[in-house]
Amino acid sequence: MKINIISVGKLSNEYKQVALHYSKMISWKLREIELVHSKKLPEAQIKSYEAQLIYENISNNSYKIVLDIPGKQLESEKFSLIFQNMMMIGKDIDIIIGGAYGLDNSIIKNANITLSLSKMTLPHQLAKIILLEQIYRAQTILAKHPYHK
């Protein structure tokens, strides 16, 4: 199973160290795709343009998880079951994190599941760190490792 984290925006140096820490501990094949564009676009076009970039990086047959504030909140144990189920059927997972303006509706509609890390708005950098920790936690839950108490 391969996990792709597709995020709009780039991690700053402060966040990179923490992301690297969790990325090294995750034994599943993990690929982080940072979508960054320097074009100055009108606000109305940004979500559409970012959606194009995201679609270029989504796998056709993957299980698509979108992170969005109105999404469903799961306990860590239930989150780990998504990984277990995808491993059992041999599907890769694409996890999509939007930018400052959120995600285009077409991305949200194509998701297999929409999850929320919090009802509060989080910076995409912090959301990515929380996500990486939860992926690691899911792995330890499935391995019955004592990390998750």
Number of domains observed in the structure of the chain: 1
pLDDT in tens, 62-74: 999 999 999 999 9
pLDDT of residue 89: 97
Looking at the domain assignment, is residue 148 inside a domain?
A: no
Q: Is residue 51 part of a domain?
A: yes
Q: Give the separation between CA 56 and CA 108, rounded to whole angstroms.
A: 15
The CB density around residue 14, as the number of other CB atoms within 10 Å, is 8
The per-residue pLDDT for 147 is 87
Is there a domain that residue 100 lies in?
Answer: yes
Angle between helical axes of 124-142 and 13-25 (0-180°, round to 10):
10
16-52 pLDDT per residue, tens: 999 999 999 999 999 999 998 766 788 778 999 999 9
Q: Which domain holds residue 76?
A: 2-142
**147 located within any domain:** no
Place of tokens 């912090």: 126
What values do phi and psi take at 66, rounded to 5?
A: -110, 135
- Confirm whether 149 is domain-assigned: no
How far is Cα 104 from Cα 133, in angstroms, rounded to an integer?
26
pTM of the model: 0.93
Mean pLDDT of 100-116: 95
